[in-house]
Amino acid sequence: MFRFALSKGRILKDTLPLLEKLGIQLEDDPEKTRKLIIPAHMPARPDLGIKATDFEMFVLRATDVPTFVQHGTADFGFVGKDVLLEHGADGIYELLDLHIAKCRLVVAEMEDALPRTPGQPLKVATKFVNIARQYYAQKGEQVQLIKLYGSMELAPLVQLADKIVDIVDTGKTLAANGLRATEHIADISTRLIANGATYRREHAQVMALMNSIRQQL
């Protein structure tokens, strides 16, 4: 039996059809049930080298998925690359880019932002503190990071921060608030991840599952 951590929200909506294509049958609808653990079953697929497999599905806050996988509480997970970069990948194997829930991680500032005075500290608001710290360290810039959990675009509008590091899909929210993306940090999409110990112990089955998912993309 394997345990699978699913991210709530957009990723869940995009990955449920993928699980269905694989023949993984969930006993309850994860978008409706109050159950925290959902039993599931995948029939044998000799053509793909997959044995009949039972699963337990956890539907989690996206930021918790890497933690469950890292500690071996879940064997697999679907999670955004942004969450993976912020969390770190110790004990985690990134197996596959699913090319779904695509977006960009960018630096943005006001359209009419004035050039900074040399030596003036740069204030950056973000929920991706680890990513931002590493990004600016690589650039050799010292910044004051301000952690926020939402309404990121508001920070430059009220002079809480000079810039933000945030996820952008269409860019319409930035434009509506007079901001523009000025630096590209990473392309983001959903990834299939596996616990390191599971990957080594059940390598053949892990690879068969990964390849079967790849065929459905």
Q: In this predicted model, what pLDDT tens digit does every residue of 72-112 receive, in sequence order?
A: 999 999 999 999 999 998 999 999 999 999 999 999 999 98
Check which CATH number belongs to the domain holding 114 and give it. Answer: 3.40.190.10
Q: Indicate whether 196 and 183 sit together in one domain.
A: no
Task: Determine the pLDDT at residue 113.
Answer: 85
Q: Indicate whether 78 and 139 sit together in one domain.
A: no
Task: Determine the pLDDT at residue 64.
Answer: 97
Task: Please give the model's pTM, rounded to 2 decimal places.
Answer: 0.90
Q: Indicate whether 6 and 98 sit together in one domain.
A: yes
pLDDT < 50 regions, the chain = none
Task: Determine the pLDDT at residue 148.
Answer: 97
Q: Indicate whether 84 and 115 sit together in one domain.
A: no
Residue 80's nearest CA partner among 129, 13, 10, 18 is 10
In the chain, which ranges are continuous DSSP H helix?
10-21, 65-70, 81-87, 129-139, 154-157, 172-176, 196-201, 203-216
Beta strands in the chain (DSSP E): 2-7, 25-26, 37-42, 53-60, 76-80, 92-97, 103-110, 122-126, 143-147, 163-168, 179-188, 190-195
Measured distance CA(186)–CA(139) in Å, rounded? 15
Q: How many domains does the chain have?
A: 2
Q: Indicate whether 203 and 178 sit together in one domain.
A: no
Q: Indicate whether 171 and 197 sit together in one domain.
A: no
Q: Indicate whether 89 and 13 sit together in one domain.
A: yes
Domain, as residue range, for 176: 103-187
Written as six digits, the tokens of 27 are 């006993």
